[in-house]
Chain A
Amino acid sequence: MHGYEIANSIQRISDDVLQVEEGSLYPALQRMLIKGWVTAKWGTTAGNRRARYYRLTAAGRRQLAVEMSQFERVIGAITRVIEAV
């Protein structure tokens, strides 16, 4: 997926709940490129425009798992706190 598609899919999948400032996607993508979590390759869009396509790497998937478990722990904790109130 290229940047625009990523932004759109985030919006779509989250049912329009997550509407970030779209541009901040790009610095985030750069940081993931540095870490080696994603790779980028130039390709052509359906409209025959040049676009940079990002793909999750194996390292990226591992990192995702780490982040997910981290996230679930935090969410779980928050949920428990809220429920206890």
Chain B
Amino acid sequence: MEIEGGNTHRISKRTILFGIIPFIVIGAMIVLLLNFSGTLFPSSIKPLPEVSIEKVEFLGNDMIVAFVRNTGPSEVTVAQADVNDRIYPAAIEPGRTLTRLADAKVIIPFIWNAGEPYKIGITTEDGTRFEKSVDSAAAAPRPTVGQASTFALIGTYVGIIPVMMGLVWYPFIRRLSPNKYNFFLSLTAGLLVFLGIDALLESNEIAVDSLAPAFNAQILIIIVAIVTLTTLLYVSQRLIQRASKRTKTDIAVEYKKGSSGGSEPDFGTRDVKSSSNSAQQKLLIKPIAISMMISIGIGLHNFGEGLAIGAAVLLGEVALSSFLILGFTLHNTTEGLAIVAPMAKSRKIPVTRLIIMGLIAGGPTIIGAWIGGFLYSPIATIIFLSIGAGAIFQVVYSIGSWMYHTNGSRGLLNNHWIIMGFAAGMLIMYLTGLLV
């Protein structure tokens, strides 16, 4: 807006007209096609129906509820419901005819057995059957205080405690030599890259298993991740610019080395050249800003993780054992390390600030578990996991760029501490991930 501000002028009527003409043509075509489609493109073939069973809930001990959505190209009428391919009396609300993308609830009175796998099927008017498998039937969590506090406890164990534990490393990291510090910074980057890839794969899995092709969910994952990444890059640049105006001296001291980079033609040259112009030299990233961005990124990631945990409990895909929670705890402890590493070398950080960051990173797990457990929506889960992935990759970029500038002329990829740390970070995540 500001940029446009200089050359604002009234858009002439002719311009508006030229802008509108294509829409008029498109509108005419739509009218024509809708009214004369039968004569223009005669076709005797009815489009194939497509119904997705998005969620199956087991209630009480004698009811199964399937949430179905018409994800096909045309209206669909549901005729029958079955459990394990055996037809059962059922009801469908609000009604058996579903317009495109409309959803309905199929209620099947059925005495089910906890822990057993089930296949829930829907047969449409033309005799096509659609099926959804449930690995292990478990009573759907009801939004009671007891269940909510169980989820809160799980969220605390999986989100808040491990992040806080990671933060305890702060004094340790502060005392490290520059090389070892670089090792831990790149280790952080490795952890985050793992989390980002994990989030993308996880959302891809949900997209394939629970969402109909009509949603194009796999493309949505990539779009959301890219948009998040670019938006956060923009936001962080703006934040840093504003912050740098206020604490100029503080930064000037810290980034003396960074501004002199660019003389050595190594792997990082492209960035160096682009940053050599005067505007880009202001790209001096405040460590606390990085840590905060990491907290937010991990918070988003943990929100998605919470959604996934809650949903897994709801969908009966997982029996929550203490071993599983322990696995998540160990896995997520590294996230706290990721938060403290970038700011370890800057001025002393108040403990309250650390705790706030820990809560930002870990707290969303609880909210995620509530939403995932009580109001599961595969599309929302995918969107949040993708946002988390985009946020995490932005953080990785920030860490990389910060290390690059603080690392002076040595660059990134010819420092074996950085390479080792990066690999170690991903490996640690992989190994602790085996526990989950």
Do these two chains interact?
A: no
